[in-house]
Amino acid sequence: MSAKSANESKVEVIARMFPHDANPAGNVFGGEILKQIDVVAGIVAHRHSRKNAVTASIDRVDFLKPVYVGNALILNARLNAVKNSSMEIEVRVEAEDLIKGTKTLTGTALVTSVALDENGRPTHVPKLALKTKEEKQRFAQGIKRMNQRIKEKKRNKAKA
């Protein structure tokens, strides 16, 4: 299995927000935005692994500004780090006011996806080819976060 670059799996998805996506004041539900984040991260994971992939965690979600009915939601997602079967995907969310033509960063999230084999068991994914200084920094930071998530998950299981 040869290494793949982050650019090979990056994704941009654009979705228009409608009244059924929002509350009566016209603010898009955070849950709708989370759904879109999950969808775009899943595409990145599938592209990289070429396997079925499931969401293991969504964390560090920050809603920075509101998204309104009529906005185009623009989600850009890319791999930060890869371990054996898991992948950390960073998602940036922008809202575009289609009348004014302005774009606003409205949120960010980190998603961990796990690739599964045909029996539903975690399976190896290609390594991440790191070419630039930025990619190496993203990878190191992502691995650090992934290791921290593993520790927290073990701690939570021990408490349960």
Domain ranges of the chain: 4-159
pLDDT of residue 60: 86
Of the candidates 122, 27, 125, which has an alpha carbon nearest to the alpha carbon of residue 81? Answer: 125
Could you tell me the two tokens for 67? 């998204």
How far apart are the C-alpha atoms of 98 and 71, rounded to whole Å?
6
Q: What is the mean pLDDT of each run of 10 residues along the chain (160 residues)?
A: 92 97 96 97 97 94 97 98 97 98 98 97 96 96 94 86
pLDDT of residue 156: 87
CATH number for 4-159 (one of 3.40.710.10, 3.40.50.620, 3.10.129.10, 3.40.640.10): it is 3.10.129.10
pLDDT of residue 159: 85
